[in-house]
Each structure stands twice: as C-alpha cells, then as structure tokens.
C-alpha cells in the first residue's frame, strides 16, 4: 500500500510576495532615508580626505626631520608641480629623492610655504622660524573641518583641527 498525502487546499490568496501598497511604502521610506544619508556621507568623505592629507604631510615632515638628523645634512621638502595638492617629494642635499608622495584627489587644497628645509640638527634654517600648512577641501560643507599642520621652533610638526 502506498500512502498518499491529502490534497492541499487552495486559498484565494498567495502567501508569498508583497502587495503594491506595501512595496510603495517601502520605496518611499528608502528614498527618504537615502536623501538624508547622502549629504552626511559626502561630509564624512570630505573630512576623511582632509585628515588623510594632513596625516600624510605630518608623517612626511617627521621623516624629513629624522633624515636630516640621521644624514647630518639638510633635507628639503618641495611640492610637485605648482602646489602641495599635486604631491611632494623629500630631497637630500644632493637633490636625490628620498620619498615621493603622490597628489590627492577629491578637491583637497593645501596652502603652505614654497619649500621647507630641515637643517642637520632637525631645525628650520632661520632662527625663530616656523612653517604652517593649511589643509581644506574646495567645496567645503558646513561641518567639514580643515586641519593645520605646523612646524615649531624645534622642527617638530604638530597637527590640529581647524585652520592655521
């Protein structure tokens, strides 16, 4: 004897899927949430671009200072091209490249001195000299903060939120 399953009952309504009003309400809620999230995401990306550029510059200044002390000779940091946004390079006394930093995309602006030289003791060449780099983005939203990288009298770089 074979056992047979009882026939399934047919109902007038299918249990799978969404109704049209449910789908429309879901789409409406998703569009409202995405409209709120896009500007916040843009500000997050711009803040991260500014932070990345400032920390890369900070690391480059520390490296150049330590190379000047290690080599006991002046080390120069110079921008690539017309501005610091295009990137920069660290050069030893003979003009040999120690490190090359490529440029930043996304509208990062970096204002600073034409070049920066660390003497063999890790200080800047002029007595009492300091240097500052102001980092921001071109289309700055209200909550995007610029950053300042400053080199003090002893040649040590520091970074902080806000302009110089």
Domain span at residue 62 reads 20-161
Between 126 and 131, name the one with better pLDDT.
131
Residue 14 counted as domain residue: no
Total structural domains in the chain?
A: 1
Q: What is the pTM of this model?
A: 0.75
**SS3 sequence, 89-134?**
EEECCCCCEEEEEECCCCCEEEECCCCEEECCCCCCCCCCCCEEEE
Residue 15 counted as domain residue: no
* pLDDT for res 142: 63
Residue 145 Cα to chain centre, angstroms: 12
Whether the predicted pLDDT of 88 surpasses 80? yes
User: In Å, how far are 66, 116, 129 from 90, measured between CA atoms?
Assistant: 12, 10, 20
Residue 7 counted as domain residue: no
Whether 119 and 74 have beta carbons less than 8 Å apart is answered as: yes
Residue 4 counted as domain residue: no
Query: What pLDDT digit, counting tens, does each position of 2-43 carry?
Result: 667 666 666 555 567 888 888 889 898 988 888 887 777 888
Confidence band of 97 (pLDDT split at 50, 70, 90): very high
What three-state secondary structure class fits 13?
Answer: coil
The domain spanning residue 121 has which CATH number?
Answer: 3.55.40.10
Q: How far apart are CA 108 and CA 54, in angstroms?
A: 10
Residue 38 counted as domain residue: yes
């Amino acid at each position: 004897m074979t056992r047979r399953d009882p026939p399934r009952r047919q109902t007038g309504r299918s249990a799978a899927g969404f109704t049209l009003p449910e789908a429309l309400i879901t789409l409406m809620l998703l569009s409202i949430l995405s409209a709120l999230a896009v500007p916040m995401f843009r500000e997050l990306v711009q803040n991260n671009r500014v932070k990345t550029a400032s920390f890369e510059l900070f690391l480059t200044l520390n490296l150049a200072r330590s190379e000047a002390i290690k080599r006991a000779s002046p080390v120069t940091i110079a921008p690539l091209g017309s501005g610091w946004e295009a990137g920069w390079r660290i050069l030893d006394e003979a003009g040999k490249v120690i490190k090359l930093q490529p440029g930043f995309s996304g509208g990062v602006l970096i204002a600073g001195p034409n070049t920066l030289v660390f003497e063999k003791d890790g200080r800047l060449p002029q007595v009492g000299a300091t240097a500052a780099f102001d980092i921001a983005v071109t289309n700055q939203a209200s909550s995007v903060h610029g950053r300042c990288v400053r080199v003090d009298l002893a040649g040590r770089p520091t970074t902080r939120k806000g302009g110089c």
